Chain A
Amino acid sequence: MSTAAASIIAVVLVSVATLAVGAFGLRVSRTMSDFYVASRGVGPILNASAISGEYLSAASFLGAAGLILARGVDMLWLPVGWTAGYLVLLVFVAAPLRRSGAYTLPDFAQLRLESIHVRRVSSLLVVAIGLLYLIPQFQGAGLTLRTLTGAPLWVGQLAVAVVVCLNVLPGGMRSVTFIQAFHYWLKLVALLTPLFFFAGMWASSRMPSGSGAVDVADWVEPLQGDHALYLTYSLVLATFFGTMGLPHVVVRFYTNRDGRAARRTTLVVLVLLAAFYVLPVLYGVLGRMFAFDLVAEGRADTVVLELPSRVFEGAVGQGLTALVAAGAFAAFLSTSTGLVVSVAGVLSQDVLRRGTGPGLRGGIRAFRLATVLAVALAVALTFVSAGVPVARAVELAFAVAASTFCPMLLLGIWWRGLTARGVIAGLVVGGGLSMTAVVATTFGADWEGWFGVIIRQPAAVTVPMAFATMVLVSVLTRATVPKHVNLTMVRLHAPENLDLDRGTFHPDPSRAGSRSGEGATARRDNVTVRRG
């Protein structure tokens, strides 16, 4: 059996297993709220596995190792930042966001700022960031199948698109939770197993001697390139503060039982991510020894896929390659599934809802329509966008998230003075500038000097500007502070065991927008009331 055949079988197996686990979850998914967010009945370990599984995308699985192989120690900030982002999310956002009861970022925006306009702008941004993040996933899938089988790029891209649709269309979030928990462990095993074989070889000193490309100062020592200090700090800022603003990350928090569970889940996520992110570093280093030629060929992104067959021959090499291919596909599937669910959720609630009839059936029909639409858009954008390295494209999505939703969440949760106009101004300034930089980079624009450097890595400029705009405009429009801000603060910060009035906002999409009128039932519905 050839490596190509083994890899194809592995990829098909992952897809079938994913659909099977999804179908198992489907049997327990009945109501509309199951459909969206798994009714919050998910325990911390399962939920943390699912969050990590969803988060570890093509960029983590392929891209980080590729960039470390090509550029060395400065790229270690990617795995560090992707983990630290969850720490920042834990301390500032996790519990209050869960307590808000919002399904999505637009829900949160509307709840906190009591403005339908803020909701609309947020929806637009969720779709933009979601699509931006989907592109590298589909790219990675195309790259993987091409590397392993020689198939054209579009084959892998379409394959992932179809499996994602098959996954999301029938089951919604409940099945997604099971799938993603499964994907975390699959990804970990897929990267870990070849390393055991490497270690075994090393121990019996049958390891072939690698190239000397490891002992190069440019690669080993930090901050060797031009403007390296600015670029590093900008990357740190984007990843530390961007995580909380990614749409597929936020949706997952609703599946926690309460604010306290949200915190504990996030702590487990930190452990799972830290454990995983050791692996891409090791692949980067091993790649430097055994697959250094990939850098010159511009194929560094494929190092994880090619490394096993370079070191091991015969059946072992084929088997390990197939396993890594399976893990890579799990990475594309889980992240794109999560992204599609959140983009489709927003599209169906805020764009398509009116056209598809009332009630549960109308809601689900809108959600399915939105799913197909989101996937089609992402595939189309993947076809037209230039070949930006996988992890680079993801960095840019982080920069946009850090320049938009991060200030909205931080100020919204911790400052009563935030106004709807302030948020809109901040989102427009932060989102507009960072998106401009992203579009310029994606289409290969290259300017000289500082301007070009900032365009390459905009976060260090756009994040402070977004914060400043939100605060300044909010202060200028302080007469328009939301009417229920005090009630909202009780809702965001008071522990659930206290029996308090938390307002009546109901995140059920079929009733989104109503802030009153449901009375006592909605008020108690929303929170787990455990009187002690």
Chain B
Amino acid sequence: MSERRGDRDGPPRRVRVTSPRAGATRTRATSVASEIDAQTRLGEVYITSLMRSQLRLAVGVLLALGLTLGLLPLLFHLVPAIGQTDVVGIPLPWLLLTVVASTEIIALGWLYVRQAERNEENFSDLLEGR
């Protein structure tokens, strides 16, 4: 791509030699959007890759929630002693289902938003050829 700059600065002779290749590279870089617009196989692959990364993230968050909060009823069922345990004077299940649960939910939400925006920035960079 850098040869392209030679268009203006370098001698005219060089332009004729390098311009077809440079032209090809340029078309390539700007065409992802048009591939998507034209709904080609390649455009579909790009959108699918974005969807996959976002879906993987979402399922990851859901799994994190399911394997902690979601396992609590089973844990209470299998280890009834948890119900009789006190922490700082409050029964453990009450603590888990109030303060701990809401902190976890907010933290997961925050992590998700940050990563989802990153995924989109990567996709935008890809499309804009940066």
Contact = CB atoms under 8 A, between A and B. Distances in A.
Interface of A: 73, 76-77, 79-80, 83-84, 87-88, 90-92, 95, 217, 220-223, 228-229, 232-233, 236, 240, 260, 263-264, 266-267, 270-271, 274, 277-278, 281, 414, 486-487, 489-490, 493-495, 497-501, 532
A151 to B, nearest CB: 35
Contacts of A274: 102-103, 105-106
B93 A221 contact: yes
A489 B52 CA distance: 12
A487 B128 contact: no
Greatest chain B CB density within 10 A among A87, A91, A270 is at A91
Interface stretch (B1-9, B11-19, B69-77): B69-77
Contacts of A277: 102
A500 B37 contact: yes
B29 interface: no
A499 B109 contact: no
B73 to A, nearest CB: 4
Greatest chain A CB density within 10 A among B51, B62, B74 is at B51
Contacts of A95: 116
B36 A490 contact: yes
B128 A236 contact: no
B91 A232 contact: no
B98 A489 contact: no
Contacts of B36: 490, 494, 500-501
B124 A495 contact: yes
A497 B127 CA distance: 11
Contacts of A487: 39
Chain B at the A interface: SS class: helix
Contacts of B84: 217, 221
A495 B123 contact: yes
Given A220-B83, A274-B106, A260 B33 contact: no
A177 to B, nearest CB: 22
12 contacts: A73-B97, A84-B65, A91-B58, A95-B116, A220-B83, A222-B76, A271-B106, A274-B106, A281-B98, A486-B44, A495-B120, A501-B37
Nearest to A230: B73
A24 B103 CA distance: 36
Contact of A264 (B69, B91, B113, B123): B113
Given A220-B83, A222-B83, A87 B113 contact: no
Greatest chain A CB density within 10 A among B50, B73, B83, B123 is at B73
Nearest to B103: A274
Contacts of A217: 83-84
B22 interface: no
Greatest chain B CB density within 10 A among A80, A222, A490, A500 is at A222
Contact of A232 (B55, B73, B109): B73
Given A80-B69, A229-B73, A264-B113, A498 B33 contact: yes
A497 to B, nearest CB: 6
A222 B73 contact: yes
Given A220-B91, A260-B117, A267-B110, A83 B77 contact: no
A499 B110 contact: no
Contacts of B76: 222-223
Contacts of B108: 87
B83 A494 contact: no
B78 to A, nearest CB: 10
Contacts of A494: 36, 47, 50, 123
Greatest chain B CB density within 10 A among A73, A228, A487 is at A73
A270 B83 contact: no
Given A236-B70, A414-B51, A532-B128, A221 B33 contact: no
B124 A77 contact: no
A514 B10 CA distance: 55
A77 to B, nearest CB: 7
B80 interface: yes
B39 A91 contact: no
Given A91-B58, A270-B105, 19 more contacts: A77-B97, A84-B101, A87-B65, A217-B83, A221-B80, A221-B93, A223-B76, A223-B77, A232-B73, A263-B113, A263-B116, A264-B113, A274-B105, A278-B98, A489-B51, A493-B50, A494-B50, A495-B123, A498-B33
